[in-house]
Amino acid sequence: MAKNTMTLTDNRTGKEFEYNIMSGTRGPDVVDIRSFYKDSGMFTYDPGYTSTASCESKITFIDGENSELRYRGYDIAELAGKHSYLDVCYLLMRGRLPNKEESKDFDLEIRHRSFVHEGLIRIFDAFPDHAHPMATLGAAVMALSTFYKEHLNLEDEDQFKEMRRRIVAKIPTIAAMAYRNSIGVPQIYPDVDRYFTENFLYMMRAYPGGKMKNLGGGINDEIRQVEVDALDAIFTLHADHEQNASTTTVRAVGSTEAHPYVSIASGIAALWGSAHGGANEKVMDQLKLIGDVKNVPTYIAKAKDRNDPFRLMGFGHRVYKNRDPRAESLKGLQDQLRKELNLDSKLLDVAAAVEEAALADDYFKDRGLYPNIDFYSGVILTALKIPVEMFTPIFVIGRTVGWITQWSELKQDPTAKIARPRQLYTGK
């Protein structure tokens, strides 16, 4: 019997099936059961794919037990707030951080690719006012495939690079236009003199003619650097997260030979769910429900009551069994913003009281229910005067680079097959 194998025994027949054990550079070993159905006539059963590796990847690594997240080997704490989001995009797509000249060239190209086709802008006229930006964002990204309908040559690396840079550059523009359409105000074109993240804030806030509206009210000609830095860090922390629901969706749709932008649109649809990217909206809804610091003990007690349907949003994570490393970065950012922006918001006071109460309670600590990225990101985006309906589109802006990098890795894998899970049939 080989050393690096696992033997499965069917106790009904005594038959044994031997499979190779594969080892990655980090993380659990994997049993290669690709021939299991052919060998045994049986399927494995794993709802939610909690014990299934669907692919081999060199992009992102997560150790949920030790609160670790790495992009291309770099710990997230080394990247968020210390390298620009565009440099992190370069890292994910190219496998290494850029030098100064590469960083400058990449930034310049992204600025000039941020404009979208005039025909795409006119599509927004067909959408009703007050439509959720995620709905119009997803539809507009799907429509991108009609403007860039050429078939990609998988052997042409330049085509791959251009396709990836194009989608990363245009998503903030489309997201800002989706927001402006939802409130019925004129669209604003990108400004090539502005960096990626500042440009997004500009396109959300500006009036025709260049004046800017602070989303909290009033005219403000300046986008403060602290705002840009904060949102840039949020984009970085959302850039990729291994084989989550939306990334798995992008890969599954990509495996059908669908257009890459159709795959990204499918990821947007998956991300919109309140159990995934929409969770930070639910966090803010819940903080508004709690309403006042004096009500926090009541809601903490409700969260601990098994017979009460109330669940504390923004705490705990499917993968992280301890602290969410992205939340750790955002916690420091939240404290910095509160000080630098002189924030004195009742909602932020409620959030701070919920956090303090939960972290001091053994019920939450014993269950590993620590604040996750959704708890802090919602609070920070509120501090930046970002409307709640734009929380998930901002997640999309950050995550697009991860999706398109995962799509590219899938397409360059000679062993990749169309996604086709099987089932345990229990019907008539």
Catalytic residues: 317, 374
Helix (H/G/I), strand (E/B), else coil: 69: strand
Q: How many helices, marked H, and strands, marked E, lie in the chain?
A: 18, 6
Whether the CB-CB separation of 63 and 80 falls below 8 Å is answered with no
Q: Could you give the angle at which helices 260-271 and 391-411 cross, rounded to 10 degrees?
A: 140
Measured CA to CA in angstroms, residue 78 lies from 2, 72, 82, 102, 183 at distances of 41, 12, 7, 20, 38
**For residue 352, with 0-12 CB atoms within 10 Å meaning exposed, 13-18 middle and 19 or more buried, which class applies?**
middle
Burial class (CB in 10 A: 0-12, 13-18, 19+), 214: middle
Can you say how many angstroms the Cα of residue 179 is from the centroid of all Cα atoms in its chain? 19
Q: Indicate the helix (H) or strand (E) that contains 8.
A: strand 5-9
Q: In a 3-state reduction of DSSP, which class is residue 59?
A: coil
Distances (CA, A) of 131 to 163, 175, 204, 272: 29, 13, 16, 14
Pairing of strands 68-71, 60-63: antiparallel
Q: For residue 101, with 0-12 CB atoms within 10 Å meaning exposed, 13-18 middle and 19 or more buried, which class applies?
A: exposed
Angle formed by the axes of helices 225-237 and 196-205, nearest 10°: 110
Nearest to 250 by CA among 140, 62, 61, 399: 399
Report the distance separating Cα 189 and Cα 191, nearest Å. Answer: 7
Which residues are CB-contacts of 301 (< 8 A; sequence separation ≥ 6)?
Answer: none
DSSP state, 128?
Answer: P
Q: Quick one: tokens of 56?
A: 């081999």
C-beta separation of 239 from 399 below 8 A? yes
